[in-house]
Structure 1
Amino acid sequence: MVENLRKTGQANISAGADQARIFNLDKYWKKFESQHEVLLNKFKDELKKHDYATFSSLVEEEYMSQRSTLVDFATRLTGEPKNSSASTQPQQSNSRASLPRIQLPMFSGNYEDWPSFRDLFKSLIDQDASISKVEKLHYLKASLKGEANLLIKTLSITAENYKQAWNTLSGLYENKRALIRSCLTKFTSIPKAKAKSASELQRIFHGMISTSSSLDAIGRPIGQHED
Structure 2
Amino acid sequence: MLKTVSEQSRRSINITKVDSNTRLPQTKLPKFHGGYDEWMRFHDLFVAMVQSKENISGAEKMDYLLSCLKGNTSSVIKHLSHNNANFDVAWDLLKSLYDKPQFITVAHFDKLFEFPMLKGTGLDEIKCFFRTISENINALRALKKPVESWNTLLVYVLAKKMDEETRVLWVRATKTKEDPSIEDLIEFLKDRINELERLN
TM-score (norm 2): 0.60
Structure 2's unaligned 5+ residue stretches are 1-9, 155-200
Distance 1:196 1:128, change over 3 A: closer
CA RMSD of aligned residues (A): 2.8
The CA distance in 2 between the partners of 1:197 and 1:129, in whole Å, is 48
Distance 2:29 2:124 in 1: 31
Q: Distance in 2 between matches of 1:222 and 1:178?
A: 17
Relative to structure 1, the CA distance from residue 137 to residue 204 in structure 2 (aligned partners, 3 Å threshold; closer, same or farther) is same
Q: What is residue 114 of structure 2 aligned with on the other side? A: 189
Identity of aligned residues (%): 28
How many angstroms apart in 2 are the aligned matches of 1:221 and 1:210?
Answer: 16
Q: Using the alignment, how far apart are the partners of 2:146 and 2:55 within structure 1?
A: 35
Work out which of the residue numbers 11, 14, 19 in structure 2 matches 1:91: 14
SS of residue in 2 equivalent to 1:91: helix
Structure 1 residues 35-184: aligned runs within 5 Å: 91-93=14-16, 101-184=26-109
Q: Is the 8 A contact 1:115 1:217 kept in 2?
A: no
User: Whose radius of gyration is greater, 1 or 2?
Assistant: 1
- Alpha-carbon separation, structure 1, partners of 2:150 and 2:117: 26
* Larger mean Cα displacement after TM superposition, 158-167 or 214-223: 214-223
Work out the CA distance in 2 between the residues paired with 1:101 and 1:198: 32
- 1:106·1:143 contact (CA, 8 Å) conserved in 2? yes
Specify every segment of 5 or more residues in structure 1 that has no aligned partner in the other structure, as ranges.
1-85
Change (3 A) 1:212 1:123: same
1:146-194 Cα offsets, whole Å, 9 max, x none, are 2321111111111111111000000011101100011111111211011
